[in-house]
Amino acid sequence: MVRRLASRAVRYFPSMGAKYLNTDLIITKRTGFETLVEDFNRVGLFQLDEARELEGAWRVTLETEAQYANPSETADRLLLAISQLSPGARQEWDKCLDRHIDVGYECSEEPFASKWEFEPELLNRIAAVNAKLVTTIYRIHHAGAEVDGE
C-alpha cells in the first residue's frame, strides 16, 4: 500500500516494530575530551568516535564495554560511570554544552510493536546529571538494498 503525504509517496508498513540496538552516551563541548574520556575509560566506557561539529564544538560518543539486553540497563550502567568520575572529570562533564543518552532502535517489520519502559527513578537520575534522553530510530537496511546517496 502506498499513501501520498505532502505530495510525496510514502510506503506504509502495517506491521512495523522496533528492535533495540544500543545506547550511547554523547557529549559535546568546545574543547577536547582527553581528561573526560580517560576517566570514562577508567570506569568501563570506551570511545566510539569523536567529531568536530559545524558550530566548532567537539562531540564524542561513548559506549559500555558490555552489551545489555535493554536500554534501561544500559542507561543505568552509563549513569553509574558518570557517578564514578573523578572530581576533575566531573567538572569537565558539568562544562559540556550537551550531554545525552541516545537509545538506538532499528525499525523492522516484526514484531508489530515493541515497548521499552524507563522507570521514573531512572529518568530522575538522567535529569540529575543534566543529561537528555534521546531516541534514534534507524530504518531497517536489507542486504542488497540501495542506501540513499550510495
Q: Where are the domains of the chain?
A: 21-139
Q: What pLDDT is attached to residue 16? A: 54
Q: Are 92 and 30 in contact (CB under 8 A)?
A: no
Residue of 3, 7, 15, 1 whose CA lies nearest to 110: 15
Question: d(Cα 126, Cα 56) in Å, to the nearest integer?
Answer: 26
Q: What pLDDT is attached to residue 112? A: 66
Interhelix angle 71-83/120-128, rounded to 10 degrees, is 40
Question: d(Cα 77, Cα 38) in Å, to the nearest integer?
Answer: 17
> CA geometry: angle at 64 spanning 135 and 91, to 5°?
85
Amino acid (one-letter) located at 49: D
Architecture of domain 21-139: 2-Layer Sandwich (3.30)
Split at pLDDT 50, 70, 90, the class of 56 is confident
Write out the E strands in the chain: 2-5, 8-11, 17-29, 45-52, 58-64, 98-108, 132-139
Mean pLDDT of 2-29: 63
List pLDDT tens digits, range 81-101.
Answer: 999 999 999 999 999 999 999
pTM: 0.79
List pLDDT tens digits, range 97-122.
Answer: 999 999 998 887 766 677 788 999 99
Split at pLDDT 50, 70, 90, the class of 35 is confident
Q: What pLDDT is attached to residue 140? A: 77
